[in-house]
Every structure is written in C-alpha cells, then in structure tokens.
Structure 1
C-alpha cells in the first residue's frame, strides 16, 4: 500500500487530494487516486515518499521536466501554506505543490523500485488505450471498487484470525507494506531483520545465535523443544522458534499478539506503512515493552549457523542409529 498526501511530512492546510500506490494480494500494482478539483497536488517531500527517493532527486527531475519544456511550469504549480513545528513553536510556511501531470512525469523518470511499480501500472493502462482506444476500471464500473484501507482492514483481520502460527502472521502483516514486493532482496532481508528483533527482545540473541548456542547432538532431541514430524529434519533444526523454552515461547506469543493489535489499529486509522516505517514502529513498540533493541547483525552468520546444524544433525543421526542397532542396555 502507499499513501503520499497522508505522509509523515507537514501537510498543506487545504485539501490537496491523495495518491495510493500499492500491491494487491494478487500481486498486481494498483493506484487509488482521490482528486481535488480533478487533480492531485503534492509537495516535493510527498513525491519523495511516494517514489522512495530523496527530495533533492525529486527536485532535479522536476527541474529537468520544466527545462525540457515537457510541462508548463505556471499551470502545474501552485502555492500552499503548511504549519510546521520550529523550535517548539508552530510556524506557517508557503510551499510549492505540483499537480498530477508533474507527478506522472516524475514517475516515468525516477529510478527506484517504487518508480518501476508505477511505470508498470501506467504502461499497462497506456497499452490498453492504444489497443482498445479506451481504458476501463472494471471494478469501479461494476460497483465493486472499495477503498484501499477498507480492503486492508479486512486483510489484517483475516490474518489475525487465521490458523497460521504467530510468526507467519507477523510475516503476513509486514507483507501489507505499501512498498512490499516478495521478489526483492530487501523484502527477504526485511523478514530476517524482523524475526531477529523479536527473538532478541525475548532472549537477547539473534535467531542464528540462538540456534548455534542451543543445537547439541548430545542432548535429547538435539536440544530442540518442538519439530514438525516424527523425525527431526535439517529444516526443523534451522528454525529458532523450535529451541525456545515454554516461558520464552509464551512471552514471544504475547509480544507478537500485541503487535498484531497495533497493526490492526494502524489500518483502522488509515495510516499507510512502508517497510521502513514498520521497523521504526517495531523498535518503538519494543521500547514501550521495556525490551532490548537489536542494532547489529549478530555474531553468528546464517551460513555459520547452517554449518553447525549440519554437523550436529549428522552426529545426532549417527548416535541415534547406533543406539537402534545396539538395542536397549
């Protein structure tokens, strides 16, 4: 999901419209636009948030758009006032807002994953227009178009009431991020970071550190407290949650349930969230619960953890086979 006007930046004192650029559950890029006088007006800061680029980069693109006479500057800019806090007092400032023509032009120039999502969406609509001579919004015409946040609220509620385990629920919640795309390396790294933050809050270790410390071929069930089938597999042995003691697991479940409630509240209040926003809110949430915050990658890498699991599992299986051959003493 993704909102621009409802960003964390200072907002204009007037209604300027809104743009939401987001991924659907069916992995489609969609745009929801709320118009004001048949257009949308965004500041450079809001465009920077929409396309996940810096304000100077957006400013450079806008300058080039006008220098190349792609758009007329006078007809695409208007002044607006904002109220912002400066030195503990509120100050009114005048800023420039840019209309939908500028936003679209910037979207075709900016180099970012968000820019790519926008161009995919826009190109699909342009192709439909060139082939058919028109573009139709089937959902809106069918009367089935719903507000993005209404859909998101329903999605979050389905996640919370699902039969998935608690960590799968957390994963699904974060997948509702405006800029989420499962194909990117950032999304995969993001999940590992989130998992590690929850683990560190409970027992002071990353997932890899916990596994490397507790996996032990000499202990019953290799030091694990749970696994999926009758036989311990390497996949089971590489899941940190499977090494948690009962109290640790209960604390983790309670912490996650609190965070899921917070996530649902954000959607009800129509607060759009990027992946970076979720990480910041997760840290703030953990601080509120008086938990330690993970700020490093840990002392044990994922590769090192996997190597130790392989070694311990091999020794454990050898010991188990030997005992079966020898029989009861």
Structure 2
C-alpha cells in the first residue's frame, strides 16, 4: 500500500447504463480509483461484502496490495476538511466486480477504458504541444540574445564594456543549450579535444593538494585513506589494445573528477580535492580558459557538478560523464 495525494487529480463522473448510479471516480496515475463504499454502491451490495472480496483477492495473490491500493487525500463535502481514505484502482474494481456482478463490472471496465484512452490521448497531445512551444521559445530567446550581443558589441561606449556584456550573454546561451540538450537526450558522449594529454603524476597532484591544507581547519583534511587516489589518476590514462579508454581531454577531465570524488581516497576533503585536481588538469592541458579569458566552468557550476557526482548512484556514472563533457565542450 502506498500513501499519495490525489487532491490534484481529476474527477470523472460515472453513470450506469440505466442512469440509477452516479459516482465521482478519481483519475490519477493513469488509472481510475474508487473507495470500498463507492464499489458497494456500484455493484449494489453491502460494504462488508466488498471488504471480504478484496481480502480474498489479496490472500490468493491474485493482485498485489502495493500496486492496487493507495491511501489518498480527499475533501469532505460538509466541513471541507481533508480526510485520508483507502482507494482501489481499476484492476481491483474489476476483480471485485466479476465476483459480484460481471455485467456491471464489464460495463464499468469499458467506460473506464474509454476515459483513460481519452485522457492519455489528450495528455500526449498537450505534452507534445508544450514541448514544441518550449522549443520555439528557446529558439526565439537564443535569437534575441544573439541580436542583443551584436547590438551591444556595436554600440557600447568602449570595447571593454562590450566584451564584458557579451561574455554574460555568451554564458547565458550556453546554459540554455545545455538544458535543451539534456531534455532531448543529446548530451555529448565524447570530447572535442583529441590530443595527447599532459601526464600529471600523483606527486604533482598531491603538491596541489598540499597547498590547500592551510585553508581548512580539519586535521584530517587530505589524509590518505588508501591507495585509490593513485588509481583515480592512472585510470584516465589507461589504454586497451593500444587505444585510450578516454581519448579526449574532456573525457579524461570528467572521469578524473568523478573518480576522485567517488573513490573517497582521503579521510576528509574528497570533493574539494577532486574539484581542485580537475581544474589543475584543465589548466595544464590548456582547457581551463575560453576565448574570452574566462574559466570554462564557473565556481557555481563546479560546486553543483561536484555535489551531483557525490550524491549520484554508480548506475548514473554515464549520465554524469555526459553532463561534464557537455559543459567542457561548450566553451
């Protein structure tokens, strides 16, 4: 059984073929929901009979309680207070109905199927329209930003002023493009800089880490826990059958950050160390700055990305890798 809140779901009206029964059914999570009391009204039996059939269905494992029963919120008709009541989905409604009166159960199932079909078709059409509208808004916004960029560059009082404003607009458009690519599953899987990486040893990275120690009060900051830090570094330079596992600089950088953060090689400071080594690798390989002389990843983005890695599941590694590569590619 699951707890849910259906107060925002739609209410659909069911009327029996003879017009004698009218019910306010709830439409939520792509199915129809009724209470035991409503089922008793629908099938013209006492509520205890409905309870008995439901219990028997669960006892025989015909249906699973977790997927067919939810404790849902509804509004009282008299005092307008919220109450929580057990609701049962269409599978259970039909299963009970066939035990009581198959004719009514069949009628209700046909009605519910048509309602759900209409709901799904309208929902798909609505979602598709929203997506198209958002794409058009994004294209329009990008065009406006590009126009502003040209206008400001041409009309600013000084070259420096124009360049400063242009940088802001440039970063804004990059962010929009990245969000759009994520929504449409078009994040980059490979980096764009295919050249030999500068090899950075464990000792060189540790010298960078040593310079950070004075900035943090923790006595265990950067204290090695095991040998995994060296493994994190060496993995990005690995080859298989004379081919590099991470052939581009962007891929190496993204995996370096990922490995250091996830391997927890130090007693404290793994995220800070990972971010610092990531920036150092980019700098040594000539990728840290863009054409405007700005770092290709700002502090806020690096902070968010590092936390994202730390909180991610191992199964999400490829997604994290794509996000990082896409950020680095859009410089």
| Smaller-chain TM-score bracket | under 0.3
By relative contact order (CA 8 Å, sep 6+), the higher-ranking structure is 1
Computing the radius of gyration from Cα coordinates, the structure with the larger value is 2
